[in-house]
Amino acid sequence: MIRYTPLTAEEPENRTQMKNILLIIFFLSSALQGFAEDGSRLWLRADTKAHATVAANKKSPSIDIAIAELQTQWQGGKVNLMIQKGIAGQARNDNHEGYTITSNTQKEITIKSPSEKGLLYGAYHLLRLQATNKLAYPLNIQESPKYNLRILNHWDNLNGTVERGYAGHSIWRWDELPEVVSPRYKEYARANASIGINATVLNNVNASPLILKPEMLAKVKIIADILRPYGIKVFLSVNFSSPTVIGGLATSDPLDKAVRQWWKDKANEIYKIIPDFGGFLVKANSEGQPGPQDFGRTHAEGANMLADALKPHNGIVMWRAFVYNPTNDDRAKQAYMEFVPLDGQFHDNVIIQVKNGPIDFQPREPFSPLFGAMKQTKVMAELQITQEYLGHSNHLAFLAPMWQEFLESDTYANGKSSFVANTIMAIAGVANIGDDTNWTGSHLAQANWYAFGRLAWNPQLTSENIADEWIRQTFSQDDAFVEPVKDMMLNSWETVINYMMPLGLHHIFAVGHHYGPEPWGVIPGGRPDWQPWYFHNVDTVGVGFDRTKSGSDAISQYYSPLKEELYNIHTCPDKWLLWFHHTPWNYTMKSGRSLWDELCYKYDLGVQQVRDFQKIWDKQENQVDAERFQHIQSRLKIQARDAVWWKDACLLYFQTFSRQPIPYDIERPVNDLDELKQIKLKISNYENAKR
């Protein structure tokens, strides 16, 4: 402890003493600030005091970054970086991002790649092995990404808000660019490069046409210039009506010659200032967005018009398949119904971007039947990193197990084993990034950004390995900390399902913000497929959506033998039961319980699991810094309260139809249904839900 005694001007010795004390305080303060555990460093927290020797056979901005990263962090011997064509790590002729890392001892290591980006990825891989204590000599590593395009989709608006964002405002400061450039742009690029993400869409799919105006493109150029050395291409979401809104044309019809020329001219303008621009992401004829159907044209005709404009520049169009209209058709069927008839009609630089499930990023969905069905069209998967339907950034939900379940699902599209991971050409994730100090609103939510990048590079990685990597780099190498926290993370997604929507229930959220439960919700005059009852169809007989032949027959969109398994209520997996079957309350589940009792036990299990998470985390108080410990502890308290809210709201509401008692050996409801129905949250686009 430093004791301070007030000094007077007549005491020169004391003044010297005071000066020394102030210097000590200054240096202590600086040191503490330098090691502040505020989450801003993400998983890139290695000591940067090394002085490693690094040599390269070529010079470039990307290689300079790789050299700098290794020089300041690598604790071993010399590292050689070599551009070399045809290396073993180059898995496919069309991919040049692979690399090899070889060494007989730690005294000298060689990283080879046919590209500068590959060397950068190899450098980060080597540092990851060091940071996780996974180095084992001799090294003989061969790596190449599964997908050429591994992209983050930002739903960021030009006014700084983020749609479905829960980590503050957008990191893109459009009002300051191009004069003021945030240092976070480079930090963002570094984080993405470290996990292999090689592209980003800067703006919301609900796009403003203004993004294509010259003054905005000048701002986009600044960001593109910063991201380029880190191997990241920039894409933009575009509004299909841009020729009319900002181009002054009378129409945006994709077959109109003037419209086609406008898009060609706009593409030429963009590539003149951003030569490696990636292309366009388009949300069209979906949720009120304009599109080719406004002019009697098809999705293929709209996408191909843009593809023609981008083709001379090697640009691509990512055309979203998230479409549904207010019809009598099951919403889960509509994307398939619109796009499968167009299979084979899209140009080769068009990729259809399909959400992982047929509804909308629900806590658990079966894979969309479009995967495997589009046999003559390039398809990419769209995952949601931001937790729109998973408790925002208040709830712990490590999503690697969700994505692993999706990617490992067998579509049977070719009459034999055909996993989703093998039916797609690229993969996108809707970002959970904002301007919060910790980037993602919650320290633990950083793990989902990390997991997306790692799985996009290699979908065969296990959730356990990814969680282990992230914890060791972000928090601690101590197994006494790593193992219980990893177990908590790996169980968290299933836990959220248990207390929110078990057994295939889906989309029973409060309308609008999608945070709390509202299975009773009704939007007066709203379309049916925006109402929770549309999805659960509860009545005195049972609950669930009938997607068999006696209902919407959505199951018919899947291939055999999967569809036969799903049609039969007795063979349909429990996790999908209420997704595909309106099931009687007294139906005997595989556990031997009735559906009603099983539902009650699942909800109660979710509550108890979150309380176990609290116990696990509280035991780590002496293993982690106070700032992050308290932050995560406070979020788990919110999650525990919310879990009870979900359990009570859903069981008390469904009980009015089942007319059966809640089993007496589970926790009693602590809320009143009428009071729960009065809860109305107001949540902005960029804030966490608060109750």
How far is CA 74 from its chain centroid?
A: 30
Q: Give the separation between CA 684 and CA 529, rounded to whole angstroms.
A: 23
Instruction: Quote the tokens at residue 458.
Output: 């290699």
How far is CA 621 from its chain centroid?
A: 29
Closest to 379 measured CA to CA, from 348, 351, 412 = 351
Instruction: Quote the tokens at residue 249.
Output: 């044309």
Q: Which of 143, 338, 365, 388 is catalytic?
A: 388
Instruction: Quote the tokens at residue 265.
Output: 């001219």
Q: Give the separation between CA 15 and CA 3, rounded to whole angstroms.
A: 15
Q: Which residues, in sequence order, are CB contacts of 560 under 8 Å at separation 6+?
A: 412
Active site residue 382: no
CA–CA distances in Å: residue 391 to residues 376, 394, 443: 38, 6, 14
Classify residue 587 by its DSSP letter.
Answer: P
SS3 517: strand
Q: Give the separation between CA 613 and CA 616, rounded to whole angstroms.
A: 5
CA–CA–CA angle 306, 309, 315 (5° rounding): 85
Q: Give the separation between CA 145 and CA 195, rounded to whole angstroms.
A: 11
Active site residue 287: yes
Locus of tokens 């036990």: 601
Locus of tokens 């292309």: 279
SS3 content of the chain, % helix, strand, coil (to 5): 40, 10, 50
Rounded to the nearest 10°, the torsion over CA 677, 505, 379, 254 is -40
Instruction: Quote the tokens at residue 34.
Output: 């330098």
Active site residue 265: no
Q: Where are the alpha helices (DSSP H) in 463-576?
A: 463-474, 479-500, 532-536, 562-567
Residue type, 78: K
How far is CA 503 from its chain centroid?
A: 24
Classify residue 503 by its DSSP letter.
Answer: G
Q: Give the separation between CA 219 and CA 197, rounded to whole angstroms.
A: 22
Helix (H) or strand (E) holding 659: none
Q: Give the separation between CA 35 and CA 37, rounded to whole angstroms.
A: 6
Closest to 350 measured CA to CA, from 305, 313, 384, 381 = 305
Task: Report, as residue numbers or ranges, the catalytic residues.
Answer: 287, 360, 388
